[in-house]
Structure 1
Amino acid sequence: FALFILHLIIPLPPLLGYALDPSVDTHQAGSYSYIGAVDEAEKNKGLTVFESGGKKPEKRKKVKGGDAGEIDNFLGPWAKYVDEKDVAKPTEEEQKELDEITAKRQKKGRNEEEAPAEEKTILHVKDMYDYQGRSYLHAPQDVGVNLRTADAPDKCYLPKKQIHVWSGHTKGVSAIRLFPKSGHLLLSSSMDCKIKLWEVYSERRCIRTFIGHSKAVRDICFNNTGTQFLSAGYDRYLKLWDSETGQCISRFTNRKVPYCVKFNPDEDKQNLFVAGMSDKKIVQWDIRTGEVVQEYDRHLGAVNTITFVDENRRFVSTSDDKSLRVWEWDIPVDFKYIAEPSMHSMPAVTLSPNGKWLACQSMDNQILIFGAQNRFRLNKKKVFKGHMVAGYACQVDFSPDMSYVVSGDADGKLNIWDWKTTKLYHRIKAHDKVCISALWHPHETSKVITCGWDGQIKLWD
């Protein structure tokens, strides 16, 4: 019974039915004597259950590896086995999968080398010119606001309600830009690969659609006069358009995706623009020649924003490498590099109307303020919190009198903070999806334009 219990606890090997005869002294007899199943014992040559009957497997031989004195030829313990195969051939199924993958890759490569999409434009208004022969680029004078003044309104107020919706894009809107100085026109780029120009005043119609990118449009930028603008698309092309005729003047590419694009704001450098690329570079092009004239290659991640500061002598760039770098124009070495271990990437940056501050949308759900003149230090007293933006490049803006800061967020809300106290004053549910951009009209006391991934652009007052 004890043996049975032991057998349950420690499983014993199967019994063979014979054993050595303990009454015979094997040393004296000179041979082994068995009791029990003697035939079995002779058949198994007297092996016990604890001895294996098979031969020991032969040890795999290694290639002999020369003399230890000769360093070049000595293989030592790293020598291969004699029967070792160098080439592993995939099975039929594996080969099938590999063929599919390579075919897909080749197809993908072919698509990327395709010619740029054909450009065309659609005019949506009957009369492009008024009775004096002026086009829609001419700022109107009968809208109750002086659009030609350079002065900001004295006091701004919080917008309360929605007064208009511009709808025409079939997918999310990625960026909106107001016409330089006057702000009487609004340019929007979208994930439906189209760019549209809208009226901000009077009937608020869609004036023109620009079609020419084969993938989503990421960024747009007017020149100083608003007669031309640049668009950057995921099809790896940057295109220069005529705002009035809708014609595509030229196209630029370096086979990388442009994430942001900016004209140099100096009057004498309107032929130059810079683009932040997916391959960590900032590339500077000359429109007249179509050539790359400078490359700023110091970032360690894709470049998300470029902002001109200090009377356009310098520009600030932010990147996925969580740093902020300041560059002198045309000098490809950053003269200031800001990166703290606690910093997050800042995919949207806006310069304040007085040119003193940079508002940076940080990926830890706060807006950080950096000085935009010589020191570029973080202003620790001014941090705007209370909104959810992690993962989205929501554009920030200031009211013209510098009393408010506005930003969209991931929930589609428009958030308004007080500049002095950094208190969150007001929240409006503006869009069904992400509210990606908020612009405060430069000549209005309380008009804010927002756009979202629901494809709508809204005017608030």
Structure 2
Amino acid sequence: MASLVAYDDSDSEEDGSFSGKPVQSDRGTENSVTATYQKPDQCLEGHEGLQCINSETAMHPPWKGHSPVWSQPEVLGRKPAPKFRPRSSSERNEGPTAAKRPQLLPPGVRPYIPKRHRLATPDKGPPPVQSLEQDSSDHQALRSQMLSEVSEKVRPFLGRKCTRAELPRHVRLQLSAHNGPVNTIQWCPVPQLSHLLLSASMDRTVKIWDAVETGRCLQTFSTHCGAVRDVCWTPCGKRVLSGSFDNTSILTDVETGQEVLKVDNHVKITCLALQPKQPEVFLCGGFSPEVKAWDSRSGKLVRAYKADIQQTLDILFLSGGKEFITSSDMVSRDSADLTLIAWDFETTAKVSNQIFHERYTCPSLALHPQEETFVAQTNGNYVALFSAQRPYRMNKRRRFEGHKVEGYAIQCEFSGCGTILASGSSTGSVHIYDHQSGRSLCTLSAHQHACLSVSLHPILPAVAASCDWGGEIIIWR
């Protein structure tokens, strides 16, 4: 007689009173089938811990219309077994069989992490404040290095004597960081720091550029609350002096950007000039009939130079610093006897006011670096040449023509050797003239707005900078 024998699963959570004894069925003996429950470690994975031993009987039951005995809850006295459903990997990991033996990995091999675990890993968040401070300190150190050390492109030309300037031909860099007209630009006068370019704009800022290598803006001074009309380097190259329409003159440290001195002139400033022999003394001119001299060490007014004019356009110290020339907006009916005025620096007396006898104002002045001459940009669309010694006569046989002024404050400048003269133009072009003959050497067309200033590099050959009314600075080579 066949008997029905079944064993409870020792790991079952539904029946915890497993005794290991066979269970007798109530159906009788003729329709009984032998089946056995296996232990969990002997079962196939995914079959709820159950496998039929008598596979032949399971596949071909002796009765008709009856299911196998393990699916009959009334035979075993247990709850119906759930339908077959493969377990997920998370369910398998959560079961009692999740604890697996540690696997030994070869050196240099990392275990695989499922994607859902990687996505579930919380973000690291923003970098710590210390790293940001470190980046800021590194940037500050790099900027300070570029402001104080010699550029690699300038180093080979230190100590060389230039006898003949070369002409710039091509655009190397275009700097567009000012939001207003750039009134003036100037290279640093110190040869070791001559890669630095200074610019002043109507957008109330003063900027220092690495205009030889990278074209980066190294410093921005926003100390003025009005348009900056003029700016210049100190002879040491460590400070800059700026004058603005907010009636103030400010001396600023280049590396730190801190104000060293602030002077209130009570009038809008249009021009500045440092005394060559006493760099701590500077002159300020503007919308006033007088020019004031200030001492940067004490911040006090030293001297005042008064004339019957309304506005001073430019100031130029002659060689030696004992005398200086001022340009005004006064034009008389018969002669411009107050257009250019020569002053004695110590006594504040007028030396001469009969220098320029044509009815044009002169928006800018420039001194020749080697000869005793200076030039004046005129609104007659030419540059006039004058003697720098008394009685300061004008050379009527030589003038520099070909550019346009048309009321703009167009500036001009000599090269370091004094062989060429460069001037801007209201047409946006740069004009370069030969100093000895006065003829035009070349014309560079790049600016879409009026070119206000041109500055030739004091050391590097064929390198120049120009700025325009639209706020653009172009580096030429």
Q: How does 1:68-107 map to 2 (within 5 A)?
A: none
- SS of equivalent to 2:148: coil
| Counterpart position of 1:449 | 465
1:260 is matched with which residue: 255, 268, 271?
A: 271
What code does the residue aligned with 2:169 have?
K
- Note closer, same or farther for the CA distance 1:124–1:204 as it changes in structure 2 (3 Å cut): farther
What code does the residue aligned with 2:310 have?
G
Deviates more, 1:450-459 or 1:390-399: 390-399
| Counterpart position of 1:298 | 307
| Counterpart position of 1:234 | 245
| Contact in 1 for aligned 2:187/2:458 (Cα 8 Å) | no
Q: Is 2:419 the counterpart of 1:403?
A: yes
- Note closer, same or farther for the CA distance 1:417–1:124 as it changes in structure 2 (3 Å cut): farther
> Greater share of strand residues, 1 or 2?
1
- 1:245: how far off? 0.5
What code does the residue aligned with 1:445 have?
P
- Note closer, same or farther for the CA distance 1:144–1:192 as it changes in structure 2 (3 Å cut): closer
How far does the alpha carbon of each residue in 1:301-350 deviate from its partner, in whole angstroms, 9 at most, with x for none? Answer: 31111111121121111111242111121221111212554241111011
Q: Distance in 2 between matches of 1:221 and 1:260?
A: 10
| Counterpart position of 2:146 | 136
| Matched-pair identity in % | 28
- Note closer, same or farther for the CA distance 1:406–1:252 as it changes in structure 2 (3 Å cut): same
| Counterpart position of 2:211 | 200
How far does the alpha carbon of each residue in 1:367-390 deviate from its partner, in whole angstroms, 9 at most, with x for none? Answer: 001111333111112201111112
What code does the residue aligned with 1:214 have?
C
| Contact in 2 for aligned 1:125/1:207 (Cα 8 Å) | no
Q: Tell me, which stretches of 5 or more residues in structure 1 are unaligned?
A: 1-122
Q: Distance in 2 between matches of 1:134 and 1:159?
A: 30
| Contact in 2 for aligned 1:177/1:188 (Cα 8 Å) | yes
Q: How does 1:38-437 map to 2 (within 5 A)?
A: 126-129=138-141, 135-140=145-150, 142-143=152-153, 145-146=155-156, 148-149=158-159, 152-182=161-191, 183-266=194-277, 269-322=278-331, 323-437=339-453
TM, length-normalised to structure 2:
0.66
| Contact in 1 for aligned 2:249/2:265 (Cα 8 Å) | no
- 1:429: how far off? 1.3
- SS of equivalent to 2:215: coil
Q: Distance in 2 between matches of 1:191 and 1:417?
A: 29
Q: Distance in 2 between matches of 1:403 and 1:124?
A: 45
What code does the residue aligned with 1:190 have?
S
- Note closer, same or farther for the CA distance 1:288–1:145 as it changes in structure 2 (3 Å cut): closer
- 1:402: how far off? 2.4
- SS of equivalent to 1:219: strand
Q: Tell me, which stretches of 5 or more residues in structure 2 are unaligned?
A: 1-134, 332-338
- 1:284: how far off? 0.6
Q: Distance in 1 between matches of 2:216 and 2:137?
A: 8
Please tell me whether Structure 1 or Structure 2 has the larger radius of gyration of its CA atoms: 2
TM, length-normalised to structure 1:
0.69
| Contact in 2 for aligned 1:387/1:409 (Cα 8 Å) | yes
Q: Distance in 2 between matches of 1:199 and 1:290?
A: 31
CA RMSD of aligned residues (A): 2.1
- Note closer, same or farther for the CA distance 1:410–1:146 as it changes in structure 2 (3 Å cut): same
- Note closer, same or farther for the CA distance 1:161–1:312 as it changes in structure 2 (3 Å cut): same
Number of equivalent positions: 334
Q: Distance in 1 between matches of 2:137 and 2:163?
A: 35
Deviates more, 1:405-414 or 1:310-319: 310-319
| Contact in 2 for aligned 1:153/1:444 (Cα 8 Å) | no
- 1:254: how far off? 2.7
Deviates more, 1:430-439 or 1:284-293: 284-293
| Counterpart position of 1:70 | none
| Contact in 2 for aligned 1:135/1:244 (Cα 8 Å) | no
| Contact in 1 for aligned 2:158/2:459 (Cα 8 Å) | no
Deviates more, 1:421-430 or 1:235-244: 421-430
Q: Distance in 2 between matches of 1:340 and 1:356?
A: 17
